[in-house]
Amino acid sequence: MARVGLIGARAEVALVVVDDPEDGGRLAVVHVRGRARLLEVVEPGHAEAIAGLRAKYPQYRRMAIDTRPVIEVADLTATSWRGDAGRAVDAPFPRPGDLAALVRGRRSVRAFQDRPVPRAVVEQAIAAAGWAPSPHGRQPWRFAVIEAPARRAALAEAMAATWRAQLELDGQDAAVVQTRLDKSRERLRTAPVLIVPCLYLADLDAYPDPDRQAAETTMAIQSLGAAVQNLLLTVYAAGLDAGWMCAPLFCPGIVRDALSVDATLVPHALIAVGYAAKDPIRRSRYSLDELIVSWE
């Protein structure tokens, strides 16, 4: 009963597993987090949960637990380390296969480890982006991938002047501007892979009036966001993380020239991909009541 009371007060739960070899091998830690709730008798899945408990624990086969709620833990996310000073394990920890858990578990990461990203993960993520809905099925997006450190550094330098000018327009102190600029450039330099989603409007339907043409462009931009979300979720499901930067929106021509891509492509974002160096701070989300403004 005490455990049930704790769940009512705070639903967050955590499990820490530590492997400390006696032979002096590398320490390994797995930290699993989730949200607990009571699965009531009338809810789907309760009977299956009871059957699972009885299959695992013989003592439950003789107990009348059918009419009792079951503690369910969902929305699982995990972080793992091995070695000294929080060094990450050699393989990513598997992420949950449940879509709702993936959506809630995905996070925006700004600091990455110095570990190469498997090319297959990048290809799978971009392939998933290609299945996003789009106006008339035109798929108005293309993606540039930057892996070489020199190319990442060159892109950061190309965008630096624009970043500085925009930060100075906000009236910020010169030292603050320099600090923010240095952090942004460092993110581009240290992320193992950068993916640049570009808007591609050449294949859109053409209309004789400007209003419908503008709406067509807006639909394309909306679909680009859907494509990027597919990409982000696929990266996270593979055990890696990503961070979405919107800087190219403010200097698309500079980014296009730095990448030497076709003039028909409009860079809209920078997606940094890699293995998280640390857990980011998670921002709170609006409640369902706050998100729904009308339901009739």
For the chain, the domains span 2-105, 119-274
What integer is the mean pLDDT of 139-146?
96
Look up residue 114 and give its two tokens.
């110095």
Most confident of 8-12, 78-82, 84-88, 258-262: 258-262
Task: Output the DSSP codes for 128-180.
Answer: HHTTS--GGG---EEEEEE--HHHHHHHHHHHHHHHHHHHHHTT--HHHHHHH
Mean pLDDT of 113-122: 93
Residue 92 · residue 168 · CB < 8 Å? no
- Predicted confidence band of residue 44 (pLDDT cuts 50, 70, 90): confident
Banded model confidence at residue 59, pLDDT cuts 50, 70, 90 = confident
3-state secondary structure of 108: strand
User: What is each CA distance from 243 to 42, 196, 282, in whole angstroms?
Assistant: 41, 12, 13
For range 110-129, the mean pLDDT: 94
Q: Is the pLDDT of residue 132 over 90?
A: yes
**Which letter, b or e, does each residue of 220-230 get, where b requires 16 or more Cβ atoms within 10 Å of its Cβ?**
beebbeebbbb
Q: What SS3 class is residue 39?
A: strand
Query: What integer is the mean pLDDT of 61-70?
Result: 86
Which of 10-19, 221-230, 241-250, 269-278 shows the lowest per-residue confidence on average (mean pLDDT)?
10-19
Question: Six-digit token pair at 36?
Answer: 């607990």
**pLDDT higher than threshold 70 for residue 96:** no
Mean pLDDT of 89-110: 76
pLDDT digit string, tens, across residues 161-205 = 888 888 888 887 888 888 888 888 888 899 999 999 999 999 999
pLDDT in tens, 269-293: 999 999 999 888 888 889 999 999 9
Quickly state the pLDDT bin for 34 (edges 50, 70, 90): confident
Asked if the model's pLDDT at residue 86 lies above 50, the reply is no
pLDDT beyond 70 at 13: yes
- Please give the pLDDT value at position 25: 62
Q: What is the pLDDT of residue 80?
A: 65
**How far is the CA of 148 from the CAs of 116, 192, 193, in angstroms?**
11, 8, 8
Phi-psi category of residue 18: left, alpha or beta, with phi > 0 → left and psi -120 to 50 → alpha? beta
Class of domain 119-274: alpha beta
* Residue 87, pLDDT score: 42
Confidence band of 90 (pLDDT split at 50, 70, 90):
very low
Tokens of 44: 């789907």
State phi, psi for 134 to the nearest 5 degrees. -150, 160
